[in-house]
Structure 1
Amino acid sequence: MSQFRKNNKRSLISKLMTLYYRRRVGKCGAAVNFDSIVYLMRFPRNIQFGDGVYVKSGAKLCPCNEKAKITVGENTTIGYNTLIFSSVNIQIGANCMIAPNVYVVDSDHGTDRSLQMNLQENTVSKVYIGDDVWLATGVVVLKGAVIPEGCIVAANSVVKGELEAYGIYAGVPARKVGERK
C-alpha cells in the first residue's frame, strides 16, 4: 500500500463530496474517494470509476459532449489540479498514479487559415492509459496517445502517439529514455 493511501484520513467534507458525486456519475465503485473540491463537469453520467479510486482536490474531469466517456480503473489516484477533458473517449487503467497538474485531452482544434480559430471543428482520437502507469507532475497527454501497461512518464513531458510497455519516457515530445526492470 502506498504512503498516501496508508496515511490518508478522510475528512467529513471528503465523505460528503463522495456521497454527492456517487449519485452523479455513471458508475462509482466501492471505496471511491473525492477530496473536498473536485469538479465533474458537463456530463458526469459519462464518467466511470472503479473500486478504490481517489480524486484529489482541484481535479476537473469533463466529458465535453453527451457521447464523450471517461473511465478510471480501480485503485488509481488522480492528483491535485489534474485536468481530464474528453470529446470521445479517455480510458485510464487500474493502479495508476497521476500526479498533480497533469492534463489529458483527446481532441485538438483545426488550424485552417481561412477560418477563425474559435470557429474550427475539433479533431478527436481516443486516449488509452494502461494499468500500472505513472504520469509525473505536469505531464500533458494529447489526442491519440497510447500509454501501455507499466509506463513511467517524467515530469513536464508531452505524450503523443504510442509508447512501449514498461518504458520510461521524458521530454517534449516524450522519448524513451529507459525501461523498467
Structure 2
Amino acid sequence: MKSQVRKHLQFSIFNYFRMIKNRFFLGKLGKMVFIDKRVEFIRFPKNIYIDDEVIIKEGARICSCNEQAIIAVGKRTTIGYHTFIFASKKIEIGDDCLIAPFVYIVDSNHQIEKGININIQTNITDAIKIGNDVWIASNVTILKGVSIANGAVIAANSVVNCSVPENEIWGGSPAKKIGER
C-alpha cells in the first residue's frame, strides 16, 4: 500500500530533468528520486548520497558544509517543504522516514567563549543519526550528537537535543518522552 504522497506523486518532465541533472553533481542519486523545484544541494554536493525513491519537496536545502561532511538519505524517505539539512560532520537518515515541512537538522553549534567574537569561533560538531521508519513532524529542530532510533516519532515544534529510543514519541522544547508507539 502506497502512502497518500506517493500514490498521488506525478513525475513531470521537469522532475526527470532535475533528477538527471543532479546525477552529475551528487555523490549518489538513486532510482526514481523526486526532486521538486527550488531544491538546493549546497557547497559540496559530491558528499550527499540520496537512495532510491526519495522525495525532496520544494524549497529544501541540503548542505554538506565542508569537504569531509557527509549526508546520507535512505530509501523511500520524504523530505518536506523548506526543510534544511546542514552537516559539518555527518547526518544519516534511514529508510522509510517522513520529515515534515520546516524541519531543521544541523550537526554543529557555534562556541560562545567570552572575549572572542562569535563569528570567528570554531563550530563544535557531532554526527546525527536518524533510524528507519521515523516521523519528524513540522517545525522540529534536531541538534548535534542526536540519535533517533527506529520507529520514533518527534512531535511538531520540538527541539531535540538528546537521543531518542526506539518507538518512543517525544515532544517539547527541549524534547522529552511523551508516549510510545
The equivalent of 1:22 in structure 2 is 23
Matched, 1:91 2:92: yes
The equivalent of 1:72 in structure 2 is 73
**Number of equivalenced pairs:** 180
> Counterparts of 1:118 and 1:81 in 2: how far apart (Å)?
25
Q: Deviations over 1:110-157 (max 9, x none)?
A: 010110010100000000000000000000000001100000000010
- Aligned alpha-carbon RMSD (Å): 0.7
**SS of the residue 2:43 aligns to:** coil
The equivalent of 2:52 in structure 1 is 51
> Counterparts of 1:163 and 1:9 in 2: how far apart (Å)?
34
> Counterparts of 2:160 and 2:13 in 1: how far apart (Å)?
37
The equivalent of 1:173 in structure 2 is 174
Give 5+ residue unaligned stretches, structure 1: none
Following superposition, the deviation at residue 82 of structure 1 comes to 0.2
Matching residue's letter, 2:59: G
Give 5+ residue unaligned stretches, structure 2: none
**SS of the residue 1:41 aligns to:** strand
> Counterparts of 1:45 and 1:150 in 2: how far apart (Å)?
29
The equivalent of 1:127 in structure 2 is 128
Following superposition, the deviation at residue 11 of structure 1 comes to 2.0
Matching residue's letter, 2:6: R
The equivalent of 1:37 in structure 2 is 38
> Counterparts of 1:38 and 1:19 in 2: how far apart (Å)?
14
> Counterparts of 2:119 and 2:12 in 1: how far apart (Å)?
42
Matching residue's letter, 1:55: I
> Counterparts of 2:78 and 2:158 in 1: how far apart (Å)?
19
Matching residue's letter, 1:45: K
